Structure 1
Amino acid sequence: MRKYNFPVRAVQADASEPLFRLVLDPRFSAAEMLADFPRNVVQPFLNVVLADGKQGSCFKAAGSHAIEVSLPSHIQVNDAERAILANLMDFGQDFESARSTTIGELVFFLTRPDENGPESFLDALAARNAEAVAFMNEVMLQFPPEDEYSTRTWPEELIERYYFGIVLEYGDLLDNKDMSAALGILDCLHDVNMWTGFSVKANPGDTMKAGGSGISFEIEAENGAISYQVERPACDPALSILILVEKIEKLTGARPRAWQIHIEAAG
């Protein structure tokens, strides 16, 4: 499993407590980092995905060297989503400089930390990834690739060696406003993927040094179709697509009428 560059804890809390507290290394002040990290890597996921683009997250200093992040109380965050947030903060550190130790500790506030401790977060994310792969395999059974060069099933290993071309066809089920919202969600999910947010194994430092992951990509949303093309993604894009489908259904009640999928080994 993934090893973070900082300790992660869960503590007992009630609903009035923040989602998490980020304790910074004493070299970094909360005032300094509030305008930078972690806001720049976690706020889009908090606001666009978890809060459905509505009233979003609140970042505030908690003393001189800590930042607390809250969401509206009606938004429920699960263990897999906590793992994604921890992954994003792990990746958000600069692994080529002294900022590799920006974070001293990450503390999640839970009502029952004995049942949902940090050790369960990555397990939940692994299960979510497996669910997404099963979902995409079911889609490929219903809408098999027409291209003879495409794989017939969703790859489960060596994801970084593949090109993925995915089109979700909604037709007139989505209006222009819905399409714009879908585009924003997919843009955000692509960034989460590239920042290793969905990975339960990746070492962010190695990912950054390797370079090239997901640099070639294209996202479009027009004429009732949402298109996502990505080559050599950092994480399995299956979870990006599953979350997108779930979010669109939550916001509009619509599901894709048809799919086009092409997957092949990247050149």
Structure 2
Amino acid sequence: MNYRHAYHAGNFADCMKHALLVSLIGSFLRKPTPFMVLDTHAGIGRYDLHSPEAEKTAEWKEGIGRLEHEGPDSPLAPWLDLVRKAGGPRFYPGSPLLASLMLREQDQLICCEKHPEDKRTLYSLFARTPNVQVHERDAYESLRALLPPAQARRGLVLMDPPFEEPNEFDRMAQGLHTIQQRFAPAVVALWYPIKHRTPVRTFEHALMDAGTRDVLTAELLMRPPRPRPAEWRRLMVIKPPYGFAQEAQVLLDRLRTTLGAFESTVTTLIPE
């Protein structure tokens, strides 16, 4: 079965990922020089939370549904302002739409989506946005084809695979190697589930063995892992911008409080 994000849009994991993504992109805005964002698994860009798919699971009610009344003093406000600008909370923006709303004229967003129908939807969303490109490409092939960017020396690569394939961690590790070879200055954000610890440990040890440095992880755990296993999400950031670790902890702590989560952590996995 193909993963379709419409069933999960706006859930706690989306809220975590997107709040941190907005913080990462915001760090690029501190300088006037252009930057590029490459979203390798872009999806359709915007999700109707009143759709049959979203209503079937209703996961958004325990995510964005509990955050829509956050005030302007909340650390989540920069992200939530963009959600509202995109038509949220009903029309919930995915990572490509959030990124596009933060671009300046000199910046660029490149979106890759392998699913033909989803690619067409995404293309329609950005048809009148000149600094956004949409490609129907395999995510990992796009790293070889589209990096380094032609007009920017700074950039963020977001890899958010659906984990339909059993070798996804191996593909991510190879993809990271490609990024480091072709666009070494890039900040890289890797988003992945933790269902079983062994594949995650193997993946992270492979990065260490490959000489990857300056790596942090951010996690939001909704319930204790015992007495039964808990699935949670981890955002790994390689070459995080200055101050991101502290800002990420503030964002996660606010999400933990508002969503009633169990634990929020930001950890240096590999030092510089």
- TM-score, structure 2 normalization: 0.26
Q: Which has the larger radius of gyration?
A: 1
Report which structure shows greater RCO (CA 8 Å, sep ≥6): 1
- TM-score, structure 1 normalization: 0.27
